[in-house]
Amino acid sequence: MAPLKFAVLAGDYIGPEVMAEALRVLEHAASQEGLTLEHTAADVGGAGIDKHGKALPDATVALCERSDAILFGSVGGPKWEKLPPKDQPERAALLPLRKHFTLFANIRPGLLYRELADASPIKSDRIPDGIDIVCIRELTGGLYFGKPKETTTLPDGDIQAVDTMVYRKSEIERITATAIAAARSRRRKLCSVDKANVLETSVLWRKTVIDYVARHAPELELTHMYVDNAAMQLVRNPNQFDVFVTENMFGDILSDEMAVICGSLGMLSSASLGAGKNSRGLPFGLYEPAGGTAPDIAGKGLANPCAQVLSSALMLRYSFGLEKTAARIEAAVKRAVTGGVRTADIAFGGKSVGTKAMADAIIAQLG
């Protein structure tokens, strides 16, 4: 098999710390299976600003264009907080990357192992088997991108701001296709979340999802839920969901709620898949932990590398078609953590290890 070619954008604060360990795990898993990695690092976020005057340097974009996937760390932190909002690392690096590569599908597993149930704010008797759900969020449409988007002063002197929620049928169909693929690989249950009792876009959303699933995946159990109810159901009984799919802003909010009920941000991975295909004919994607740069623990060797490791497993699955290797890495993380090797964020005051030792334990579990 040709080398696995991906760009490594580690970013700031804990970004490079957890990235180094994820690469070590990947190298180990790859060498066991005779796979070769060809990864190239580039600056992004605050590191891009400091070295190149730009959160997303041109050379970084060029590297990503030559790659089959992007393994991303996280960007931003107190050092750059005084910059104008439009130049802040997250806004000036991540959003343009999403736009440039039309990363329209955000896949976020909401995973909490049974052994870590105490990390969730939900009472553990409500989640005796932990949590295992997936959120699919549309990422390039809806209220965040619709035009007009402006603030104007009205003739009477009052000030008015407008955001516009827009969706095309084709945009809804392609995110539904991603959701179908995810549901097929799991328990075959798909819940579409909208606000079809109030919003025109949601009426189109629901009709399109119904038609598309009927044509392409009639075997799935398809349900619909209003977003306000979904927010409530997620904390009441998260495992009633298998895969849920929703538009951009609803997904932004629900995926954060899901992250909280799953305990530590240090365990949660994500994939953002593009409309385009990579050189292997598979989706180009950006893979990153759900958390940020954790400046409070950066430089101390304390960060949990699991989210970054699990993000790299998603990269193998979606952008390289290596399901078996991805599943092996996921199983190794699970065995290491449930076997008792834990960083401080998931140790509940018990014995904890540092970033490197956590990765060592995952590598040991890979055999």
Residue 209 Cβ, how far from ligand NAD at the closest point, in Å? Answer: 28
- Tell me the DSSP string of 127-147: -TT-EEEEEEEE-SSGGGTEE
Whose CA is closest to 357, among 148, 344, 348, 367? 344
Residue 114 Cβ, how far from ligand NAD at the closest point, in Å? Answer: 20
Among the listed residues 228, 296, 300, 324, the single catalytic one is 228
Among the listed residues 113, 195, 212, 287, the single catalytic one is 195
Active site residue 12: no
Q: Are 311 and 22 in contact (CB under 8 A)?
A: yes
Residue with tokens 């449409």: 141
Q: Are 14 and 298 in contact (CB under 8 A)?
A: yes
Nearer to ligand NAD, 46 or 130 (CB): 46
Q: Which residues of 324-357 are buried (b: 16+ CB within 10 A; e: fewer)?
A: ebbebbbebbbebbeeebbbbbbbeeeebbbbee
Active site residue 228: yes
Show the tokens assigned to 264.
């530590």
Binding site for ligand NAD (CB under 6 A): 14, 18, 74-77, 90, 94, 265-266, 288, 291-297, 303-304, 307, 345
Nearer to ligand NAD, 138 or 345 (CB): 345
Active site residue 144: yes
Residue 285 Cβ, how far from ligand NAD at the closest point, in Å? Answer: 15
Cα 198 → chain centroid? 28
How far apart CA 358 and CA 367 sit, in angstroms, is 15
Active site residue 13: no
Residue 353 Cβ, how far from ligand NAD at the closest point, in Å? Answer: 12
Active site residue 226: no
Q: Are 10 and 48 in contact (CB under 8 A)?
A: no
Residue 12 Cβ, how far from ligand NAD at the closest point, in Å? Answer: 8
Nearer to ligand NAD, 88 or 246 (CB): 88
The DSSP letter of residue 196 is T
The amino acid at 291: G
Angle between helices 248-261 and 227-236 (to 10 degrees): 10
Nearer to ligand NAD, 217 or 309 (CB): 309
Among the listed residues 54, 211, 226, 252, the single catalytic one is 252
Nearer to ligand NAD, 115 or 173 (CB): 115
Residues with catalytic roles: 144, 195, 228, 252, 256
